[in-house]
Amino acid sequence: MSTIVQPTAPRSERGTTQTLRKWGPALIVFAMGLAAWQWLLPALGVERYLLPPLWDVLQAFWDARSELLRAGWITFKEAVGGFVLGCSVAFVLALVLARWRPLGNALMPYMIAANAVPIVAFAPITNAWFGTLSPWSKIVIAAVLCFFPVLVNTLRGLTSVRPESLELMTSYAAPQRVVFARVRIPNSLPFVFSALKIASVLAMIGAVVGDYFGGSTEALGVQIVSSVSVAQYETAWAAILVASLLGIGFYATVALAERLVLSWHPSIRAGVE
């Protein structure tokens, strides 16, 4: 009866071997991918304007590193700004809709429908609203992109509490405030973090695409567009590389925060992804 699931074995030499076994294949594929990019594509006659060889892209990055990193930083700030804005508004609204369910029932169909709208289509409009050069036109696109997944997932997390959990709180005569603080919000956190990970990716997309429709010449998306227009494909690819690394870094940061906050969650404690 007292069988307990032990946390995964401490990292020993065996652990290192296992780690290598787990990540080794992925690393090999990564190396093969880079090699194919560098040598196979030119050998197959893929033109430079379609995809320049890896080394040329790295060279272009090095030559333009200070502008690219500055541009990346500007776009990244837009993405993070939109992420924070969109996710916080969505979280607070989800709390309100979970607290007053008739309101939630009245609004949710529209929220779900709005979620299916291709929001980047509004990018030119936000430029008109907030000014093409203003970071706010990009922040708003990123925020709206983040808003819906966070709203829908948070609401699901707040409301998918097993009935007995709530009956227990009722038996303690706990007021709604306490039910939210002690049960609904902790219960929603795994859902919230799944949504935040999606939102981190969407925020980056929103900011870069927002740049495509015009913006400060220092922003990353604008640099990609202008590099392509003057046939500097290597620089465009280098900028895409910067955007990708920033996006991955953003996602990884959210995933790390998830691990710290949800340290109690079985999937994290047992090391199952």
Interface positions with another protein (CB under 8 A): 1-5, 7, 162, 164-165, 167-168, 170-174, 178, 182-183, 186, 189, 264-266, 269
- Output the six-digit token pair for 87: 């996710």
Choose between 65 and 162: whose C-beta lies nearer to another protein.
162
**Angle formed by the axes of helices 185-212 and 65-99, to 10°?**
140
Q: How many CA atoms lie within 13 A of 242 on its CB side?
A: 30
Residue 272 burial by CB count (10 A; 0-12/13-18/19+): exposed, middle or buried? Answer: exposed
Minimum CB separation of residue 5 from another protein in Å reads 5
Minimum CB separation of residue 98 from another protein in Å reads 18
CA dihedral angle for residue 90, residue 95, residue 100, residue 101, rounded to 10 degrees: 70
Choose between 77 and 265: whose C-beta lies nearer to another protein.
265
Minimum CB separation of residue 157 from another protein in Å reads 12
Minimum CB separation of residue 271 from another protein in Å reads 13
Cα dihedral 232, 234, 236, 242 sign: negative
Rounded Cα gap, residues 209 and 242, in angstroms? 15
Rounded Cα gap, residues 36 and 27, in angstroms? 14
Choose between 99 and 182: whose C-beta lies nearer to another protein.
182
Minimum CB separation of residue 261 from another protein in Å reads 10
Rounded Cα gap, residues 52 and 33, in angstroms? 14
- Per-residue buried b or exposed e for 72-86, using 16+ beta carbons within 10 Å of the residue's own CB: bebbbebbbbbbebb
Choose between 70 and 269: whose C-beta lies nearer to another protein.
269
Who's near 192: CB < 8 A, 6+ residues apart? 91, 150, 153, 154, 157
Neighbours of 61 (CB within 10 A): 18
Minimum CB separation of residue 95 from another protein in Å reads 18
Minimum CB separation of residue 268 from another protein in Å reads 11
Q: CA triplet 5, 8, 10: central angle to 5 degrees? A: 135
Minimum CB separation of residue 259 from another protein in Å reads 14
Choose between 3 and 12: whose C-beta lies nearer to another protein.
3
Choose between 1 and 230: whose C-beta lies nearer to another protein.
1
Choose between 107 and 262: whose C-beta lies nearer to another protein.
262
Choose between 244 and 267: whose C-beta lies nearer to another protein.
267
Among the listed residues 137, 153, 178, 135, the one whose alpha carbon sits nearest the alpha carbon of residue 87: 153
